Structure 1
């Protein structure tokens, strides 16, 4: 799946609507194969983003876990460390 889609579950504070929308846009871009739909497809693209965002929000609101919430800064640091190993920077 697209590398730009990030885990949104079990963070403190919870994922914002902007984060959910951004993930939905990335998903629809990946599935549709285009980063910018034509004018003829814009309405369908926007509708799909809205539907995916709604489904994502429903999912996130329905999930339960006993694990402690993750810290965004710590997770970002781990991702940077993985990238440094992967890309040698």
Structure 2
């Protein structure tokens, strides 16, 4: 799993288009094995990003939960704490 792809479900406010697109780009980069495709592959790369972003939008719009929405600041603090334990303080 790409470490840069973040959980997007059940946040208040909901995931933005920028967050969805960033996750799609990270996924396509990982699957394709390149961060910047060659000019000959740019169109295929862009089409794949749009397809993954659309699938992500459909998924997020379809998911239901009874859990209260998460707070981005609280989740970021938890991630920072986990990183400090894992990698040491920075």
**Both proteins in one fold, TM over 0.5:** yes
Structure 1 residue aligned with 2:33? 33
- Which consecutive aligned stretches of 4+ in structure 1 deviate over 4 angstroms post-superposition? none
Q: What is the CA distance between 1:39 and its match in structure 2?
A: 0.2
Q: Does 1:9 align with 2:9?
A: yes
**Mapped partners of 1:28, 1:71: distance in 2:** 27
1:21-61 CA-partner distances (Å, limit 9, x unpaired): 00000000000000000000000000000000000000000
- Unpaired segments ≥5 residues, structure 1: none
**Mapped partners of 2:31, 2:76: distance in 1:** 26
- Unpaired segments ≥5 residues, structure 2: none
Give the TM-score of the pair, scaled to structure 2.
0.98
Aligned length: 89
Structure 1 residue aligned with 2:77? 77
Q: Let me know the Cα RMSD of the aligned residues.
A: 0.3
1:39-89 CA-partner distances (Å, limit 9, x unpaired): 000000000000000000000000000000000000000000000000011
Give the TM-score of the pair, scaled to structure 1.
0.99
